[in-house]
Amino acid sequence: MDILQIIGLAIIATVIIAVIKGQRPEIAIQISIAAGIIVFAMILGKVTAVIELLNSYAQKVNIDTIYISTLLKIVGIAYIAEFGAEVCKDAGEGAIASKVELAGKVFIVVLAVPIITSLLDLIIRIMP
């Protein structure tokens, strides 16, 4: 029951942070970042397994892997950017968090540009 471990860790981290925040807010931030990273690392293995399974099914039914790989890359970037932004936001640095989000968006757009241009090209070709 990994979920119990994760929730236990999260609750303990939250209690420690709540206790410590009054005296040492800088350590509270570090604990929150560490707890976040540990939870992220714990779910990473499971997410990888799920995505591998989906990928293998996609190959089995002979679907174009380019669709899936682009989507997965975008989801991965979104996850990491969101995680980084949340950590920054927790530490009270909203400005840096929004920059991290912007960076994530830029990378997603870089990946999405070929898809959008190919759709445009497709539409142009349909036109007689």
Partner 1 sequence: MIEFLKDWCLNIVTLVILIVLLEMLLPSGRMKKMINLVSGIILVIALINPVLGLFQKGINLEEYQISSSNFIDKREIMVRSQAMKEEQTRQITNVYTNKIISQLEGLVTDIEGVLEVKADVIINDDYTDESFGEVRKVYLELKLGEAEEKTKSITPVKGIDKVIVGKEKRQESEEEYEVEIDKELKQQIESKIENVLSIQKENIVMSIRM
The secondary element (H helix, E strand) that includes residue 53 is helix 25-60
Largest CA distance in the chain: 72
Residue number with CB closer to partner 1 (5 or 48)? 48
> Is-contact 13 32, C-beta < 8 A?
yes
Residue number with CB closer to partner 1 (32 or 104)? 104
Residue number with CB closer to partner 1 (34 or 102)? 102
Smallest distance, partner 1 to C-beta of residue 112, A: 5
Residues that bind partner 1 (CB under 8 A): 47, 50, 54, 57-58, 61-64, 66-68, 70-72, 74-75, 78-79, 81-83, 85-86, 101, 104-105, 108-119, 121-122, 125-126
Residue number with CB closer to partner 1 (83 or 90)? 83
Smallest distance, partner 1 to C-beta of residue 11, A: 21
Whether the CA torsion 71, 72, 75, 81 is positive or negative: it is negative
> Is-contact 9 39, C-beta < 8 A?
yes
> Is-contact 82 104, C-beta < 8 A?
yes
